Amino acid sequence: MPVNLTRNAIAMMNSGDVNSKPLVQVVDIKLIGNSQERYRFLLSDSESTQHAMLATQLNEQVRTGRVKKGSIIQLIDYICSTVQNRRIIVVLNMETIIPEYEIIGNPKLPTGSEPEANKSMPNNNLLEPSTRSTNNRYSAPAPANKAQSFQPTIQPAYQPPPNYKIQGPIMKNEAPARIIPIAALNPYQGRWAIKARVTAKGDLRRYNNARGDGKVFSFDLLDSDGGEIRVTCFNAVVDRFYNVIEVGKVYLISKGSLKPAQKNFNHLKNEWEIFLESNSTVELCPDEDGSIPRQQFSFRPITEIESAENNSILDVIGIVISVNPSVPILRKNGMETQRRILNLKDASGKSVELTLWGDFCNKEGQKLQEMVDSGLFPVLAVKAGKVNDFNGKSIGTISSTQLFIDPDCPEAQGLRAWFESGGRNTASISISKELMPGGSKNEIRKTLTQIKDEGLGRSDKPDWVTAKATVVFIKTDNFCYTACPLMIGDRQCNKKVTQSGPDSRPYRTHLGNSFPGSWRRNLGMLGKGNVFVEI
């Protein structure tokens, strides 16, 4: 059956059309880029051809063979951009109509596709026809065993250049950059602008490395098409934009550079990250844009978290059924922080522990505890929680995590309706460590004999128990040592030091990590007969 491609589709797209959804053919596919996988198409409307870049989220269609050389496709979403003075179509969404078909018509190559050698050639009108034909891409090869003869080039008579007068200052192109979707951003573009809402803003962090001291902060953007991307600012750029950016506001951003996203710190589904520079612009849009959502979630049922990979980042929503008090925890670096554990359950019949760290304990954590204590069981949406597989699967907060109590979204409304219609009394199985009724993780009571008989603490992973015992002996020799008082950044060194002489200052030794100061104080307070409970 003959296929009719959209007539003059290439010309229409080059002139700015983005709504015709043309039917075109893939004449060629080429993999480009070293660090990032990107595909370049040569599209045809049976008469003309045009180069196109495929959005990375569509790469799977090429890998699986759904799109190949000769495929007939329909462009659903696309834009046409100028890259290095050449027009390129950026394909954001498409549909394969016929996976494989013979080349239709006799399409011409796009302008500017000739080899660079042709661009550097002198005026071809000055050459004889036989000479010009050797420089044409489609010229026939010279006959064999015949020497090529070149006619002398006739130079035109010299004419002095005309006298040009400067009529006025040369104006730069100050026209505003065209707003494009976040999904269409790529490093091959020149001037671009995006309109998006700030969904998250990170704290201002200071660092020290071989280049010296510095500061950095990041924020996340979401546009009306659902595209997300992270924006990062360093040093002087931080001073310009840190107080300008507000969560929930819509901004017009342009003149930034795109670099590969660092997936160790960036959980957004975008391979690029924007770095703002000294000439970047960030303009607040005074009018609210209802087409851009406040937040975008990709919720996973709690039952699916059980099979999620450790350290993966995901969104989860559930009913808060219990909240434990906040407790102080000493970190490995000697700094103290807060930890609060609560439990979520959903309609999947499973529950999971959510661990709040730092400021989350005193802000959202305190509010949740007050609500649960008063008999309310709120819906909690967790954006960007981190999966932990220590003693079962659990979720923990990180710096980019966001918590939403009773959010206004369909998932929250459905969960609330389920809970009120009987889900409140439905039993749920915890995917975290098995808990005692009404108890927290560490309230599995064991006697010292049980610990010995069951061989607890001898496997690769630790076993958590709670034991109540009386101190009958304290070893007084070398239970503590003199620690280094020097400050390293915002914390004390605490490494072991020894006295080299009666009048000399202590010197540091690298004998491993020391006991934190609070541990030394607590150990000094112990005595025979004291009773203690692990917390």
Q: Across residues 394-409, what is the average pLDDT?
A: 91
Q: What per-residue confidence (pLDDT) applies to 233?
A: 94
**CB of 479 closer than 8 Å to CB of 523:** yes
Q: Using alpha carbons only, what angle is made at residue 94 by residues 93 and 99, rounded to the nearest 5 degrees?
A: 150
Tens-place pLDDT, residues 457-495: 887 777 777 788 888 887 777 767 788 888 877 778 888
Which residues contact residue 15 at a Cβ distance below 8 angstroms, ignoring those fewer than 6 apart?
none
Which helix or strand (DSSP H or E) is residue 523 part of? helix 517-525
Residue 522 has pLDDT above 60, yes or no: no
Is residue 48 over pLDDT 70?
yes
Q: Are the CB atoms for 355 and 309 separated by under 8 Å? A: no
427 pLDDT exceeds 70? Answer: yes
Least-confidence region, from 30-34, 94-98, 249-253:
30-34
How high is the mean pLDDT of the chain? 78
Q: Collect all residues with Cβ–Cβ distance below 8 Å to 240 and sequence separation of at least 6.
A: 233
| Closest alpha carbon to 188 in 82, 34, 60 | 82
Range 165-179 average pLDDT: 54
Write out the DSSP string of 384-443. EEEEE-TTB-EEE--TT-EEEES-SSHHHHHHHHHHHTTGGG---EESBS---TT--TT-
Alpha-carbon distance of 255 to 236, in angstroms, equals: 16
Of the CA atoms within 13 Å of residue 152, those in its CB half-sphere come to 3
Closest CA to 14 of 41, 43, 38: 43
User: What's the confidence (pLDDT) of residue 36?
Assistant: 66
For residue 120, what are its two tokens? Answer: 């550097």
Instruction: Check: CB of residue 400 under 8 Å from CB of residue 202.
Output: yes
Percent of the chain with pLDDT over 70: 76
What's the sign of the alpha-carbon dihedral 409, 414, 415, 416?
Answer: positive
d(C-alpha 259, C-alpha 93), whole Å: 23
Q: Which helix (H) or strand (E) holds 117?
A: helix 116-119
Taking the C-alpha atoms of residue 199 and residue 197, their distance in angstroms, rounded to an integer, is 6
Token pair listed for 513: 């990590």
CA distances from 311 to 305, 433, 461 (A): 11, 17, 17
- How many residues would you count in the chain? 535
Give residue 149's pLDDT: 39
Query: Does the pLDDT of residue 264 top 90, yes or no?
Result: no
Q: What is the pTM of this model?
A: 0.53
3-state secondary structure of 448: helix
Q: Match 């460590």 to its residue by tokens.
A: 433
pLDDT at 405 over 60: yes
Q: What integer is the mean pLDDT of 286-315?
A: 88
The pLDDT of residue 219 is above 90: yes
What's the confidence (pLDDT) of residue 302?
93
| pLDDT interval class at 341 (50, 70, 90) | very high
Residue appearing with tokens 């696309």: 78
Q: Which comes out higher in pLDDT, residue 135 or 394?
A: 394
Q: Which of 37-51, 155-169, 227-241 has the lowest mean pLDDT?
A: 155-169
Taking the C-alpha atoms of residue 517 and residue 492, their distance in angstroms, rounded to an integer, is 9
Lowest mean pLDDT of 59-73, 178-192, 264-278, 391-405, name the range.
178-192
pLDDT tens for 141-152 read: 444 444 443 344
Q: Is the pLDDT of residue 166 over 80?
A: no
Residue 275: pLDDT band (50, 70, 90) is very high
Confidence band, pLDDT 50/70/90 cuts, at residue 124: very low
- Write down the pLDDT at residue 176: 61
Q: What is the pLDDT of residue 127?
A: 34
Instruction: Quote the pLDDT of residue 33.
Output: 63
Residues 6+ apart with CB under 8 A from 486: 492, 493, 508
Quick one: what percent of the chain has pLDDT higher than 90? 26
How confident is the model over 82-88, as a mean pLDDT?
A: 73
Give the pLDDT mean for 377-382.
Answer: 94
For 60-144, list the strands marked E by DSSP.
72-83, 86-98
- Of the ranges 25-34, 93-102, 273-282, 432-441, which one carries the lowest mean pLDDT score? 432-441
Q: For position 173, what pLDDT does the model report? A: 47
User: In whole angstroms, what is the distance from residue 163 CA to residue 171 CA?
Assistant: 21
Please provide the distance, in angstroms rounded to a whole number, between the alpha carbons at the two ends of the chain: 76
Question: Are 474 and 489 within 8 A, CB to CB?
Answer: no
The two tokens of residue 205 are 């962090």
**Dihedral sign computed on CA atoms, order 367, 369, 372, 373:** negative
The pLDDT of residue 482 is: 82
Q: How far apart are CA 296 and CA 305, in angstroms?
A: 19
What is the per-residue pLDDT for 133?
A: 36
From residue 69, give the alpha-carbon distance in Å to each of 43, 102, 154, 213.
10, 9, 46, 52
pLDDT computed for residue 147 by the predictor: 40
